[in-house]
Chain A
Amino acid sequence: MKVSLIQKSLLLALAISAPSYASDKVVLENAIKAQKQQLAEIEKKLAELEAKQSQVVALEHNKANQISASKNWQLNSYGSILYKSEEIFRNIQDTDPERRARTDIERVVIEYVYDVNSKWQIEAEIEYEHGGTGAALEYDGFEEFGEFETEIEAGGEIIVEKLQAKYTHNDNFAIKMGHIFVPVGIGTDLHKPDEYLTTERHWSEASLIPQVWHETGVNFIGKWQNITAQALVTTGLNSEYFRTYNWVATGHQKRFEQVNADDLALTLRLDYGDIKKGKGVGFSFYTGDTTGNRNNSNKVEGDGNLTIFGIHGAYSYENWLVRGQYLFGQLEDSQAITNANKTTPGLKPGNFAQLGSEAESAFVELAYNSQSLFNLSTPLYFFTGYEYANPIKEVEQGNATSRFDTQEISIGVNYLPMKNLVFKAQVAEQMYAQDNLDNTSSFSLSMGYYFSI
């Protein structure tokens, strides 16, 4: 561009000066020749200058790359905030829900990653939930016949979700150890605000298992072409806090100051492709006993073995994305655990002690990125989702209550005005298996951020 502008200017100058030499053709021709030579020289100099300039740019670029390559740490952060208007049932007998609205600073997470060398990496993730304060539950075995004590009221939580060391042996094999994520279900993979479409993470998964499940243990990871296989040995769950309405989810021992590790759990997972990138399928399997981790471990006869199977998948094509998951779980000795939870002093399960011997949940969602349709510079997703959960599908004896057998259909939008920010809106309808409950509706908005420096 610069060259052609200069050329044009020179030719114009030539044209203007030409008439004064018109009478002498030879002189004019010579002058033109001389001008042409000058022009060629200028062009040559310009080309040299351009070459030099691009060399400088390339050098600067290389320098930046060298800095980036030498940076052996990363600081990541994400968080989300929610507004939700929904119909709430006041109690178990209430069939006439009341509309309530609420807001929640769902989480702010800070994650540090440090590459010690090419093989070893240390990573820690600290999460502030609901604005962040908290209470630890303490089991005092010397008080009366053992007491559960909460020191302060919980308003939120500050929790270390991850504290791991990772050893990468080669492209095919790595080990993570420490406090690590348990990869059952895809909620753990897709837990950042831009990784799920709904305004909140999938409630169907949270109705069954701990969401973004983290335990202390070791994770072996094998990779071969597009296949990733994982095996984990981690601390297991504690059946003292299993409850009717969310099955084993609250058995996550994060509520305790220290985690009982008498019963360990085995997790196996096999993935083909990459769920996060929107192309992959996988299978997860979890098994572990739960009785040994009870503080009052003499109240349950039987191991309280828990088994969970999950299949999940994601597929994207052009502007379309579809994702889904199905979880099925079985709990042995659910009757004995129910009975023990009802009669453990100080535990106060109140109602909701009865446990499902079987539980299941599922979701599927479909999204379309309309960015090109509306000629936008950033993504705009429209989505629709279906979720289902029944944490008390079967009981060992008697009838399983249908109160928690719930489905939801949602439609919504995700707009990313810039790379690090997502705004979401969603309307949804909830459907209940219990005959005397009418459908309810909800409307929610959320904002999420995420960045990495």
Chain B
Amino acid sequence: MKLHKSLIALTVSTALLAGCGSSSSSNDDKDVTPAPTGFSFQATEMITNLTNDVIVAGYEALNDKAEIFVNATQTLVNTPTAENLAAAQQAWKDVRVPWEQGEAHIFGPVDALSIDPHLDTWPLNTSDLSALLANQTSFSADEIKNWNDDVQGFHTMEFLLFGDGVTDNDKSIDEMTELEREYLSATAEVFKNHTQTLFDAWTVANDPNDSASPAYKDLLLDPNNDIYASQLGVIEELINGMIGIVDEVGNGKIAEPFGTSIETSDTSTVESQYSWNSLVDFSDNIQGVQNVYRGEYPEQADKQGIIDFVEAADATVAARVDGEIEAAIAAIKAIAGDNNMPFRQAIGDEAARERIQTAIDALTVLQSSLENDVLTLLQQWQQ
């Protein structure tokens, strides 16, 4: 947090210096008139909308879908049929969507309370998972929550639901042991507790140990607190959140397993490789960026987002960045090609590798625009 604060302080002082620069020099040279820099924008509506209708709404969806998922796993434990397994697999994919989209704003309680590693640690410790399944006779949520993060969360549940993902992603009910179902259900329960904690931290009290602490959303809605000194700090946090995930998808999630050639590609570092859900994950990550940028989810009525802030300064940049986000999502989806190739296969396929490179390039362009053209607007913003 200290880093964030100093960044904010630096930005604010840069903005102040930029604002004062011309007036101080006018003492020396009276012919110089102040350059017409700066733009004004009333940010309250945008911040309110992004906080309530994008971020908090996203965590609410995550929590609701986690509940549906827990129920699906319990149904599977009680009635282990192929249909119930398929339903649980689908429920896993459904709960994955708000989580991956929410990675565009992975600050606040999700970071401070270590919710991210609890829910989404990668890679999975398959050795320990196998040992647990071989040596334990039963599992409970109380036990599992104390174990290391690499044997619980999304990817543990994915492994139990979909199999090892090497040749297919459609584990049959016959391949699933009773103990695996029990583990799945218990892990899902722990998972749901974490999504509840996250939602409560945003809406009730940001410190789970202190019910009097403010909801985290109120810190954004009413800046001038310990975390956000002003609305400028909130907007900076939102823009940096977008930059963070674009960087992670382009330079981490895609580029790491991609390697420099087919020989150096590495399937072991592909996220969501068991369910073959990787490309959906990646495009949802950037969809999350679009949600914050535009201020609404797809198909929803137009509301204020970062795009409106950018537009107040430069309409051309606002439209260009919007196009770059769309292009990045399209490029990621295009990796699958005509035959719906999963990412873990695509990194080993020459033609698909070209499409992957296109997606990486699109993300690089987007990241550069967010860093150079959007984040820098904070210096010109006259609050």
Contact = CB atoms under 8 A, between A and B. Distances in A.
B316 interface: no
A349 B227 contact: no
Q: Is the interface of B mostly helix, strand, loop or mixed?
A: loop
Contact of A143 (B1, B117, B125, B213): B1
Contacts, number: 97
Given A345-B207, A397-B146, A144 B1 contact: yes
A262 interface: no
Interface string B255-283: 00000000000001100000000000000
A19 interface: no
A339 B114 contact: no
Given A145-B210, A145-B213, A354 B268 contact: no
Contact of A354 (B114, B121, B146, B227): B146
A401 B147 CA distance: 10
B65 to A, nearest CB: 23
B83 interface: no
B131 A402 contact: yes
A81 to B, nearest CB: 32
Contacts of A259: none
A399 B135 contact: yes
B207 A351 contact: no
Interface stretch (A7-15, A91-99, A114-122, A156-164): A91-99
A356 to B, nearest CB: 12
Given A91-B123, A351-B121, A149 B112 contact: no
B319 to A, nearest CB: 38
Contacts of A429: none
A348 interface: yes
Interface string B207-231: 1011001000000000000110000
Nearest to A336: B146
Interface residues of B, number: 34
Contact of A335 (B118, B127, B146, B148): B146
Contact of A401 (B2, B128, B143): B128
B365 interface: no
B128 A350 contact: no
B96 interface: no
A403 B127 contact: yes
18 contacts: A91-B269, A92-B123, A92-B125, A93-B125, A94-B268, A145-B206, A145-B207, A145-B209, A342-B145, A345-B113, A345-B114, A346-B1, A348-B114, A351-B121, A351-B149, A399-B131, A401-B148, A435-B127
Interface of B: 1-2, 112-114, 117-118, 121, 123-128, 131-132, 135-136, 143, 145-150, 206-207, 209-210, 213, 226-227, 268-269
